[in-house]
Structure 1
């Protein structure tokens, strides 16, 4: 039996302005441990801003999302414009503020946010092909915005949950490592660092959401 192929979309490198590194890395590990293989993608675009992760302050410089995400990918990464749903069995979106600042504008515009065109295309094409999508942390809001429906979780934050509802989604409150699966839309989500979590709880969440996604892949 051939290995399941999963595309992972990153949004930079670092929780405050890119991909959350624990979530990204542990998602890749979970895919490998489940017997799959992953390919990494990121949009070739300028980050919204650059944050000093030591002080939390904005830095007076510019960085590229694809170039930064390549740090996590160890250089083995492709522009999201190259993504084709037909080449993969599933799609995964780890969280981090980059998902809400670079992949979309949710961090600034809430339910009125815009989604990066390449991110929207990847989600729509994957969904239209009947292939599952997994999302962690804040990334599920992108699915709610693009699909305009779906049962998802971002944990228990009331304001974010309200925004999900405004965008057409149905929010389910969850705690550590719990996964909400919408079988009809083939989407699976888990809260991760939307809660006050430890790295082992993130690992369990990543493992559980990957397991849910793999269960929806057609043989």
Structure 2
């Protein structure tokens, strides 16, 4: 059974992983015969009240919050290596852009959390597939744009696409129900809730993206 790493950034669309996208990713991995291996960095996040969508002033552990989605079966990403995995998937949610990297605040000049960056680069170096969902392609752009110039999508938002291209990556417009496959670099991306109007549209794109990712495993 193929082991598919799932990198979470917390629990909740505004300060962590988008929960629908994370669960749909797990379902797609299972439906395509894989085993999800959950991980997150052991860092803090700025908590957001998901009723008011305002920061509370409190801080929480990304790893502890992500464990809610993983039902407790989760590792510190620092302990995970490319040799442990067959592919790697990043669900979206604002946490992917502000906890796993600083794209949310710094755009194309942002940086990637060191343990996340190490694993992404090691996976790419080993030619193992990487899948990025929703805003998570921005993280991949920061990590690999200058070296690989990968094809990526966040849908059709012009401002975000411009920032992704400023990293050296190439943005491709894509519908929520579809995905973009960069076969040269084994990188797959799908817009999900960057464009999706409902969970069904997000599910269709995530299913295609995860299936394509697993088909790229050598």
TM-score, length-normalised on structure 2?
Answer: 0.97
Q: Which residue number in structure 2 is paired with residue 62 of structure 1?
A: 59
Aligned-partner SS, 2:117: helix
Any conservation in 1 of the 2:44–2:59 contact (CA below 8 Å)? yes
The structural deviation recorded for 1:215 is 1.2
Q: How many residues align?
A: 215
Q: Which of 76, 84, 89 pairs up with 1:87? A: 84
Moved more, 191-200 or 134-143: 191-200
Q: Per residue, is there more strand in 1 or in 2?
A: 2
Q: Which residue number in structure 2 is paired with residue 38 of structure 1?
A: 36
Q: Which residue number in structure 2 is paired with residue 127 of structure 1?
A: 124
Q: Which of 72, 92, 99 pairs up with 2:96? A: 99
The structural deviation recorded for 1:87 is 1.3
In the aligned structure 2, how far is the partner of 1:85 from the partner of 1:110? 27
The structural deviation recorded for 1:195 is 1.0
The structure 1 segments of at least 4 consecutive aligned residues displaced by more than 6 Å after TM superposition are: none
Q: Which residue number in structure 2 is paired with residue 13 of structure 1?
A: 11
Query: RMSD of the alignment, in Å?
Result: 0.7
Q: Which of 58, 71, 76 pairs up with 2:73? A: 76
Q: Which residue number in structure 1 is paired with residue 214 of structure 2?
A: 214
- Cα deviation digits, residues 189-208 of structure 1 (max 9, x gap): 00001114211111111110
Any conservation in 1 of the 2:196–2:202 contact (CA below 8 Å)? no
In the aligned structure 2, how far is the partner of 1:15 from the partner of 1:151? 25
In structure 2, the gaps of 5 or more residues are none
Residues 52-201 of structure 1: pairs in structure 2 closer than 5 A: 52-148=49-145, 149-201=149-201
Aligned-partner SS, 1:78: strand
Q: Which residue number in structure 2 is paired with residue 28 of structure 1?
A: 26
In structure 1, the gaps of 5 or more residues are none
The structural deviation recorded for 1:17 is 0.4
- Cα deviation digits, residues 130-165 of structure 1 (max 9, x gap): 100001000001111111110010000000000011
